[in-house]
Amino acid sequence: MEILNIILVIFLIGCAIAVERTRDLLGAVIIFGAYSLTMAILWLILKAPDIALTEAAIGAGATTMLLIATISRTRRSEK
């Protein structure tokens, strides 16, 4: 369990850095979805299933959808 925790946290930090580094904005949104999913699993490990469910629904669902809608209105790649 400890090892899983460490792997997830490292993956979370990697995702956070990758979101900032990616030039392709649609790719950044997808990586952000992976970040939200990892965060939801971490909330579950921290024994907060309520927040985990909300994070999975809002972070991976609503935020991603709004960002994709925004990208569809503007450019896809960062200048």
Partner 1 sequence: MDDLIVKTITRTVMPFIYLYGIYVILHGSISPGGSFAGGAIIGSAVVLYTLVFGLEKAELKMPNKIFNRKVEGLLCFILMAFVVIFMGHDVLKLREAGAYMIQVGEPVQAELLSLVTIGIGMKVAVTLISLFHTFIKEDKSSGDITSNDGPH
Site string for partner 1, 18-57 (x = CB under 8 A): -------------------------------xx-xxx--x
Measure Cα distances from 66 to 20, 34, 48 in Å.
18, 16, 26
Which tokens hold the place of 30?
A: 């997808």
68 binds partner 1 (CB under 8 A): yes
Query: What's the per-residue H, E or C state across 35-56?
Result: HHHHHHHHHHHCCCHHHHHHHH
In angstroms, give the least distance from the CB of 31 to partner 1: 18
Q: Residues in the site for partner 1, rule: CB under 8 A? A: 49-50, 52-54, 57-58, 61-62, 65-66, 68-76
